Amino acid sequence: MEGDQETNVYTLVARKPSFDLPTACPNCLPAYIYLKLAQLPFELAFNSTFPDSDELPYFESDTYVAYNNEDGGVIEKLKKDGIVNLDSQLQSLSDYLSLKALIVSWLEEALTYEIWVGTEGISTSKIYYSDLPWVISKVLFYKQTYLAKNRLGITKENAEQREKQIYKRASEAYEALSTRLGEQKFLFEDRPSSLDAFLLSHILFIIQALPVTSVLRCKLLEHSNLVRYAEKLKSEFLEASSSSPSPPLHSFPSSFPRKSSKPKSKPKVEKTEEEKKFKKRARFFLAAQFLAVVIYVSVMGGGSSDELEYEDEDD
């Protein structure tokens, strides 16, 4: 086990690297970049056998775990639990929310569409299935493609129309972001934010992981300032060594406050102690009744059990 109370070792568990990216999965990359932008030292571990899980990426430190399918994602959870928060003063800004909506809805939709439908999943084998045997990867690929289409609301009838809509929205989003960014280093003044993490991850993934024939990739390359922005941040934060001694941009508590974090669970009815005891007793009572009947029938009726043996039967 790593770490004790004094030195917490942070680990991000993500999918495997490929396409010259530290993690090839488009859901895991934003979390990785966010931690890099915050200059938080962490270790990277890989899970390559669960391509259809929505828990990945998860961030852990000793017994603390932040799963991606809780509380709006890993990044949100890290902000909420006070581990690392790059958006502390930005959330009140008016355009923070609109940019966030643009990035996490339209751009993410476009990316999902492009990976599973637009490029027919060419890149997925390296991202998700590199460590799984062929049979399993084929079945999971079909499953994930089907789920992606469902999520995007694509059916046979509206496929074309939906595709046009998705690409149009992506184009508009790139236009708006390009105008907003200009030649700035970050989206907001001089400080990195979680939106930079999402945008950088999106751009890097499209450029490096998608094939050259991808429609979305072509649309993105039309905005050269977005490409320059990505290259600059990549060389500064991602290619630098992760154990740099530079002070973090924002202070964070050395021992994070233990906030209550209920795991994602199906809605359960809270039972009172008494009800639980009663149910337990009832179960024992029923089991005892059943046992008594069984014993009575078999011991009193049949006698002891014998193995089946071939015996000579006397006439």
Partner 1 sequence: MENPAEKPDPNPSTPKIESEDEREELGDINGDEEEEEEYEEEDDGKPRTREDAIADRIKAESLFRRMRATPVAVRVHDVIVKGNEKTKDHVIEAEVDVVRQATTLQELLKASKVANFNLQALDIFDSVKITLDSGPPELPGTTNVVIDVVESKSPITGQIGTFTKAEARSSSLEGSLKYKNIFGYGDIWDGSLAYGCDHSAEVGLGMYLPRFRGRPTPFTSRVYLSTQDWLKFSSYKERALGLSLGLIASKYHELAYNIAWRNLIDPSQMASRSIRRQLGHNLVSALKYTFKFDQRNSSLRPTRGYSFISTSQIGGLAPDSRTLRFLRQEIDLRYAVPLGFYPAALNFGIAGGITFPWGSGYKSRASCVPERFFLGGNISPVCSLGGPSALWGFKTRGLGPNEPRREVQDDESGDTYERDFVGGDVAVTAFADLSFDFPLKWFRDRGIHGHVFACAGNMAELSENKYRNFTAPKLLETFRSSVGAGIVVPTSLFRMELNYCHILKKQEHDRAKSGFFMTFSTSS
Q: Please report, as ranges, the residues that interact with partner 1 according to CB under 8 A.
A: 1, 13, 45, 47-51, 53, 55, 58, 60, 63-65, 67, 70, 131-136, 140, 258-265, 273, 276, 291, 294-295, 298-300, 302-305, 307, 310, 312-315
Closest approach of partner 1 to the CB of residue 6, in Å: 17
With respect to partner 1, which residue has the nearer C-beta, 240 or 291? Answer: 291
Question: From CA 171, how far away is CA 177, in angstroms rounded?
Answer: 10
With respect to partner 1, which residue has the nearer C-beta, 2 or 222? Answer: 2
Are residues 31 and 59 in contact, defined by beta-carbon separation less than 8 angstroms? yes
Q: Under DSSP, is residue 64 helix (H, G, I), strand (E, B) or coil?
A: strand
Closest approach of partner 1 to the CB of residue 307, in Å: 7
With respect to partner 1, which residue has the nearer C-beta, 55 or 108? Answer: 55
Contacts of 69 (CB under 8 A, 6+ apart): 54, 55, 264
Structure tokens at 221: 């390359």
Q: Which residue has the tokens 């209550």?
A: 260
With respect to partner 1, which residue has the nearer C-beta, 190 or 315? Answer: 315
With respect to partner 1, which residue has the nearer C-beta, 157 or 309? Answer: 309
With respect to partner 1, which residue has the nearer C-beta, 158 or 298? Answer: 298
DSSP 3-state percent helix, strand, coil across the chain (nearest 5): 50, 5, 45
Question: From CA 259, how far away is CA 80, in angstroms rounded?
Answer: 9
Question: From CA 116, how far away is CA 65, in angstroms rounded?
Answer: 29
With respect to partner 1, which residue has the nearer C-beta, 53 or 225? Answer: 53
What residue spans of the chain are helical by DSSP H? 29-37, 74-80, 94-101, 108-113, 124-127, 134-152, 159-181, 194-209, 215-221, 224-233, 273-295
Q: Are strands 58-61 and 11-14 parallel, antiparallel or unpaired?
A: antiparallel
Closest approach of partner 1 to the CB of residue 284, in Å: 11
Question: From CA 272, how far away is CA 204, in angstroms rounded?
Answer: 51
Are residues 208 and 20 in contact, defined by beta-carbon separation less than 8 angstroms? yes
With respect to partner 1, which residue has the nearer C-beta, 58 or 205? Answer: 58
Phi, psi of 123 (to 5 degrees): -80, -15
Closest approach of partner 1 to the CB of residue 279, in Å: 11
Closest approach of partner 1 to the CB of residue 82, in Å: 14
Closest approach of partner 1 to the CB of residue 236, in Å: 32
Closest approach of partner 1 to the CB of residue 238, in Å: 25
Closest approach of partner 1 to the CB of residue 233, in Å: 31
Question: From CA 273, how far away is CA 289, in angstroms rounded?
Answer: 24
